[in-house]
Amino acid sequence: MPGRPIGRGESSARRQVTRSPIGARTVHYEYVLESLPILDLSRLDAGAEQADAFRAELRQVTRDVGFFYLVGHGIEQQLIDDVLALSRRFFELPDEAKLEIENIHSAQFRGYTRVGKELTVGRVDWREQTDIGAERPVAEGDEDFWRLQGPNLWPTALPELRPVIERWIAELSDLSRRLLRTWAVALGAPEDSFDAAFGADDAYPLLKIVRYPGSPAGREGQGVGEHRDGGVLTLLLVEPGKEGLQVEHEGEWIDAPALPGAFVVNIGEMFELASEGYLRATLHRVFSPAEGTDRISVPFFFNPALDARMPQLTLPPELAAEVRGVTADPENSKILEVYGENVLRYRLRAHPNVAEVHHPDLVAARAAASA
């Protein structure tokens, strides 16, 4: 569905503005989207009126669409360029250098995944990737999800990757915390509502460095199948000029091509749960590039501590009246409140080869429960 992104002050939508006690104004849109809205985070620093307007638009866009482009975020362009360049260099390594860190060597599901070795809704995704999380020692605990905490696998053939990616994770974690504090105020909650669950020493960030190889099927091929993100917040970086991501909106699929220097931001199911369904996690998918081309994508997922319960917000009456309830998804029949329980379930399902090697007891328990 082609078209240009809708920026501030632009949309093919009817717009109504009303005043409310919590955000100075509430902006109501009836979207007829050609592409995703663009939000400029620098407006938070442009005075009280602009900050109120940004919060109101953030709230409404993530209620009505669930996805947007974020500009004015403060991440240096040089760091963005370095991340994309090193990501491409990683995939140019010989197979043996990538397989040195294959994820079957990690009980934490970290490291390299070959093309065709990850599943979405039981179907094969046509991509290769490496998964990198918070660099922490192996944890011990009674809950199964503590198995997910541990070290990353880094390629010895590309030592410069680690310092750049660790800086990237740190800066995007800070940016994500700022966004969460902004959402809290926009939803009529205390600004620090999410702070405890997303502390610097406790949050569970996850980065994927992904390459989608070209496919003869092109747009008919599954880069990633239709899904909603299961966590809280996603910030996606894609090489400029590349397309592939599509977002569902009112039964239509909207193309979301990369914009230079911008992140594509979306919320996940746990944020929907925290807002009682006021905000909505949105279906999206990625189609394969045309044969002879490829696409580098770097999604960053920001989530709370493994043992954290997602804070539940109490919405003010004017927002509570618009609550729609949490989405009923047959593929995820229950969004669990403890983040670690959610992510362990997703990892076991997406990477059955790793689960069979490192967690045969959990595989057996799941099989017995579904029998």
Condensed to tens digits (0 to 9), the pLDDT of residues 293-321 reads: 999 999 999 999 999 998 999 999 999 99
Q: Count CB atoms within 10 A of the CB of residue 275.
A: 24
Q: What is the pLDDT of residue 329?
A: 58
Report the alpha-carbon distance of residue 214 to residue 191 in Å, rounded.
Answer: 44
Q: Is residue 203 part of a domain?
A: yes
Find tokens 């369904």 and name the residue: 277
Total tally of structural domains belonging to the chain: 1
Q: How far is CA 80 from CA 56, 179, 208, 267, 368, in A?
A: 28, 19, 15, 22, 46
Q: Is residue 160 part of a domain?
A: yes
Q: Is residue 124 part of a domain?
A: yes
Give this prediction's pTM.
Answer: 0.89
* Ranges assigned E (strand) in 256-320: 263-267, 284-287, 294-302
Q: Is residue 285 part of a domain?
A: yes
Give the DSSP letter of residue 103: G
Q: Is residue 60 part of a domain?
A: no
Q: Is residue 54 part of a domain?
A: no
Q: Count CB atoms within 10 A of the CB of residue 157.
A: 15
Checking if the pLDDT of 1 tops 90, the result is no
Q: What is the pLDDT of residue 338?
A: 86
Structural domain range at position 185: 76-370
Report the alpha-carbon distance of residue 68 to residue 182 in Å, rounded.
Answer: 15
Q: Is residue 55 part of a domain?
A: no
**Chain segment 170-203, per-residue pLDDT in tens:** 999 999 999 999 999 999 999 999 999 999 889 9
* Ranges assigned E (strand) in 125-255: 128-133, 206-213, 222-227, 233-238, 245-249, 252-255
Q: Is residue 40 part of a domain?
A: no
CATH number, position 135: 2.60.120.330
